[in-house]
Structure formats: C-alpha cells, structure tokens
Amino acid sequence: MEKRGLVQQTITRRIFGLPERAGCKNVINLHGSVNRNYCPHCKREFTIEEIRNAKHVPLCPDCGTVIRPEVVLFGEQVDNAVMTRAAKEIEKAEVLLVLGTKLNSNLCSQLLKYYTGNKLILVTLYPHFSDKMADYVINRRVDETLKELLAE
Ligand SMILES: [Zn+2]
C-alpha cells in the first residue's frame, strides 16, 4: 500500500519488523525492533544475525556486558522522541487506518488524541465497546481486508 502511495506512514507497536519485511520504508516502531541490538554499556550496535549466531547469552565482545534488543521491555517507557514523531504523523493524517487493536488501549488512546480528521477506519476481528471511537468499523480479519483493499 505504501508503494502505491495509499499509505504514507506506518506506526506499529510490534517488534518483529513485519512492515519493513513487507517493503514499507516509513515505519515508526513504537516499541523498537528486535532487528536492532546494542550494548547498554558501550553502545556498540549488533545485527540480528550476530545475536542469532550467539551460542549462549550474547555478550559484548568489547566490554562483556549482556547485549539487549532495542525494544521497550515490560515496565519501560516508549521513547518520548518516538511518541512525538508518531503524534506529529497522526496529526497531519487525513485518513487513519487502525489495524487489529482496541482503540482504548493505553498507547492507542494516547496517540488518537492527535487525530483531528473524521476518517478513522478501524479494522479488527472482534467487536469491542471502544470501537465507537472510530468513524468506520470493519469487524473482519485484517489480512483479508487489506488484501481486498489492494485488489480494489
Ligand atoms: Zn559493550
């Protein structure tokens, strides 16, 4: 959809880099990505391959500190600069397509405050009381709905 100019920005809280693997270039990863790893002590960066190839807990070869993914772990806060970027993108959006989430979830409701348009389209399989915050609701599988949208 991005390649066809239908989507300008993808904002996700998933950490496995699926939008990038699908070819998206403009992606904000709210919770980071498992594809980026770093040493919290000396800040050296490591690729996912270097982590995958580790036989034990991956340690920084420079200082011996445990390497961690650049991911927001339980109890940690989303980076303020990342939230600001996401809020600015949402603020300028004409159409907001929200996929597979509840609109009243903490992160989602924080960001929705910045949307000023009247075309909030929610695609989610299971109906939820917070769906009423959307202008349009499609209670179907996200993958099937997007496939049909692209075929149109
Ligand atoms: Zn280090």
Give residue 67 CA to ligand 1 midpoint distance, Å. 8
Same domain, yes or no, for 59 and 108? no
Same domain, yes or no, for 101 and 52? no
Contact (CB, 8 A) for 58 and 90: no
* Domain around 97: 80-151
| Total number of domains in the chain | 2
| Assigned token pair, 5 | 């100019």
Same domain, yes or no, for 121 and 62? no
Give residue 58 CA to ligand 1 midpoint distance, Å. 11
Judge whether 43 lies within some domain: yes
Residue 55 has pLDDT above 90, yes or no: no
Judge whether 63 lies within some domain: yes
Same domain, yes or no, for 63 and 107? no
Contact (CB, 8 A) for 139 and 126: yes
Give residue-wise pLDDT tens across range 1-44: 899 898 999 999 999 999 999 899 999 999 999 999 999 999 99
Judge whether 100 lies within some domain: yes
Q: What's the whole-number mean pLDDT along residues 72-82?
A: 91
Q: Is 31 a catalytic residue?
A: yes
Give residue 39 CA to ligand 1 midpoint distance, Å. 5
Single out the catalytic residue among 31, 41, 56, 128: 31
Give residue-wise pLDDT tens across range 95-106: 999 999 999 998
Give residue 50 CA to ligand 1 midpoint distance, Å. 14
